[in-house]
């Protein structure tokens, strides 16, 4: 008899198959990453799409780029946007003074060119307004 034949090991069990779900976990993590990226992109698009323009900046730009060659149209434009831009007491006082000076350019067929006093008042108003 061979001694190796007599030796029996009773502690070793058969090979057991361990389930491997790592590929499913990987696919699930990729799906979550794509979903999160999609949600972030949608929120960014909504943020920029629904962002309201700053009207004060637009009014300020209109007043800054005003054309003085047509005095009557300029007077109406200045009156409109100065009133919309004035927020505090000092701005309201300057706006009222400017609108009062512009009254002679409104409601008439023929008007003279806007004088330098009004241009200076408008410049002062533009300096006071913080946009």
Torsion of CA 80, 67, 125, 119, to 10 degrees: -120
Residue 5, CA atoms < 13 Å, CB-side half-sphere: 2
Q: Which residues have C-beta within 8 Å of that of residue 12, sequence separation ≥ 6?
A: none
Q: What is the pLDDT of residue 43?
A: 94
Q: What is the pLDDT of residues 95-121, one digit of tens each?
A: 999 999 989 888 888 888 888 898 999
What is this structure's pTM? 0.62
Mean pLDDT of 3-31: 81
């Amino acid at each position: 008899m061979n001694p190796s034949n007599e030796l029996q090991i009773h502690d070793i069990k058969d090979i057991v198959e361990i389930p491997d779900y790592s590929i499913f976990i990987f696919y699930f993590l990729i799906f979550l990453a794509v979903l999160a990226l999609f949600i972030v992109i949608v929120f960014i698009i909504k943020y920029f799409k629904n962002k309201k323009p700053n009207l004060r900046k637009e009014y300020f730009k209109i007043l800054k780029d005003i054309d003085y060659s047509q005095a009557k149209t300029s007077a109406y434009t200045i009156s409109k946007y100065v009133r919309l831009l004035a927020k505090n007491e000092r701005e309201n006082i300057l706006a009222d003074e400017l609108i009062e000076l512009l009254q002679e350019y409104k409601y008439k067929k023929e008007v003279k060119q806007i004088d330098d006093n009004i241009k200076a008042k408008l410049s002062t108003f533009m300096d006071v307004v913080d946009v």
